[in-house]
Amino acid sequence: DIQMTQSPSTLSASVGDRVTITCRASQNIDTWLAWYQQKPGKAPKLLIYKASTLKSGVPSRFSGSGSGTEFTLIISSLQPDDFATYYCQQYNSYSGAFGQGTKVEIK
Amino acid sequence: QLQLKESGPGLVKPSETLSLACNVSGGPFISSGYYWGWIRQPPGKGLEWIGSIYYLGSTYYNPSLKSRVTVSVDTSRSQISLRLSSVTAADTAIYYCARRFRTDPFDFWGQGTLVTVSS
């Protein structure tokens, strides 16, 4: 099984900060990596797929990078609407393990 | 606009079988490349992929749940079903259905339904 590990688990930041979240895969997944945002009581929302492709309608302050086993989600200037929990997911072949999540809190 | 809606009992007794349905509306259900999946989230915890099914019926399961899970599709009713047997309190979670297209990840999600396992 492919395991996904995110860090940090929690992140405290202020509006305007640059935020970086890391995701590591236990084996090579090429660029089959997605990032989701989830707010309390809501279903996850797809932000980025293929490691770096922004889904249509997602603000450009979100960006993703990486390949193989190391991936990064960057929020260039944190906005009030961005305080949420973020998950990475590998979707290599037909499976889809998620990372444990990173909660972005208000500092 | 595509909509997915989960339904089923909110309370299941330990050792019994959890059964949920996901109804799809507002968009194509039978289409080459569409996969439908189930994901769950225990209260206050992270997401866990349960399994996926191709519209023609091929299934793919999380190895940790494979012995207890069955995902099926009813194309006549535009519905995906989940059955999870021998449940315990650890299976208490919000259960989501979602769609993925070919090599893309899950892009449409239902609102989720909470299932509690308790006697």
Q: Do B103 and A46 touch (CB under 8 A)?
A: no
φ, ψ for residue A87, nearest 5 deg = -125, 140
What single letter denotes the amino acid at residue B31? S
- Please choose, from the candidates A27, A39, A6, A21, the residue with its C-alpha nearest in 3D space to the C-alpha of residue A69: A27
> CB distance from A55 to chain B under 8 Å?
yes
Interface of A with B in 30-49 (CB under 8 A): 32, 34, 36, 38, 43-46, 49
Token digits of residue B113: 């339904």
Q: How far apart are CA B15 and CA B1, in angstroms?
A: 38
Nearest residue in A to B35, CA atom = A94
Smallest Cα distance from B14 to chain A, Å: 25
C-alpha dihedral, A33 to A7 to A84 to B105, nearest 10°: 10
Which residues neighbour A93 within 8 Å (Cβ) at sequence distance 6 or greater? B60
Better pLDDT: B25 or B81: B81
Q: Do B47 and A89 touch (CB under 8 A)?
A: yes
Answer whether residue A94 shows pLDDT above 80. no
Q: Do A96 and B37 touch (CB under 8 A)?
A: yes
Token digits of residue A31: 């660029």
Identify the burial level of B8 via C-beta atoms within 10 angstroms of its C-beta, where 0-12 means exposed, 13-18 middle and 19 or more buried.
Answer: middle
pLDDT > 90: percent of chain A: 92
Q: Do B105 and A89 touch (CB under 8 A)?
A: yes
> Mean per-residue pLDDT for B35-62?
93
> CB distance from A99 to chain B under 8 Å?
yes
Residue A52's pLDDT is 98
φ, ψ for residue A61, nearest 5 deg = -70, -15
Answer whether residue B31 shows pLDDT above 90. no
Contact A75, A18 (CB under 8 A): yes
Neighbours of B82 (CB within 10 A): 24
Q: What is the pLDDT of residues A44-57, one digit of tens each?
A: 999 999 999 999 99
Nearest residue in A to B96, CA atom = A43
**A1 contacts on B by Cβ (under 8 Å):** 63-64
Select the residue of A32, A46, A100 nearest B46 (Cβ to Cβ). Answer: A100
Q: Confidence class of residue B15 from pLDDT cuts 50, 70 and 90?
A: very high
- HEC string of chain A equals CCCEEEECCEEEECCCCCEEEEEEECCCCCCCEEEEEECCCCCCEEEEECCCEECCCCCCCEEEEEECCEEEEEECCCCHHHCCEEEEEECCCCCCCECCCEEEEEC
